[in-house]
Amino acid sequence: MAERSSIFDMIGPVMIGPSSSHTAGVVRIARTAIRVLGEKPVKAEITFYNSFARTYEGHGSDRAVIAGLLDFHTDDKRIKNAMDYAEERGLEYSFRSIGSAAVYHPNTVKLRLTGESSRTMDVIGESLGGGVINIREVDGFSSGFSASLHTMIIMAKDVKGSIAFIANILSNDDCNIATMTVSRKGKNDLACLVLEMDSGVREITLQYLEQLKWVKHVRYIPNIDQ
């Protein structure tokens, strides 16, 4: 199915920088990634692919990704000096570029993040234009979410009936599921469930899901622009 865009996507977001795809989109990918990590990042290994790899310095994608890792919004004037703020906050980072990777979207960036607790997480994001993004992978699992809706990511064991169980729990919160992506390493192995919802989830519901024996962890992203 072809991707659909609205007139607002074509206009683009309120932003700092020369390009909605190379700056605003990159900020949003990085802001989403730190929420997937679930804690403040202290180290980031950043790989730009294809078009990003050839233009990331000239279009400010390097500053944009660091700004996003510092949780700056797309219209934050500090984006231009993001490297200076990263140094002040003790964020270590490195850049790598791969100019030809046919398996990836032209505007793709991979973030390998290490948090304060030494937890690591890989996130691959695509900037689709107009500030719109797609989070393609989370720790090697297909994810495919935009972070523009209320999003929940559940890493859990591949337990029979688990998807129906979680859907029932969310129905009690009056949540309508817009999209669902399920990826697993293998039968009865670790699985990743990504749910995009039209409305939010109560904190008590997140806590309940987190304490289930077969759930490894839960990440909740209300809306990346909030």
- Tens-digit pLDDT profile for residues 59-81: 899 999 999 999 999 999 999 99
> According to CATH, where is 3.30.70.260 located in the chain?
150-221
Structure tokens at 64: 């944009």
CB count within 10 Å of CB 17 equals 21
**13-139 in CATH: which number?**
3.30.1330.90
> According to CATH, where is 3.30.1330.90 located in the chain?
13-139
Over the stretch 97-139, which tens digit does the pLDDT of each residue have? 998 888 899 999 999 999 999 999 999 999 998 889 999 999 9
Nearest to 70 by CA among 109, 111, 110, 41: 41
**150-221 in CATH: which number?**
3.30.70.260
For residue 223, what are the contacts with CB-CB under 8 A and spacing of at least 6? 147, 148, 149, 150
- Rounded to two decimals, what is the model's pTM? 0.87
Q: At residue 58, does pLDDT exceed 80?
A: yes
Confidence (pLDDT) at 187: 80
Residue 14: pLDDT band (50, 70, 90) is very low
Lowest mean pLDDT among 52-56, 92-96, 189-193: 52-56
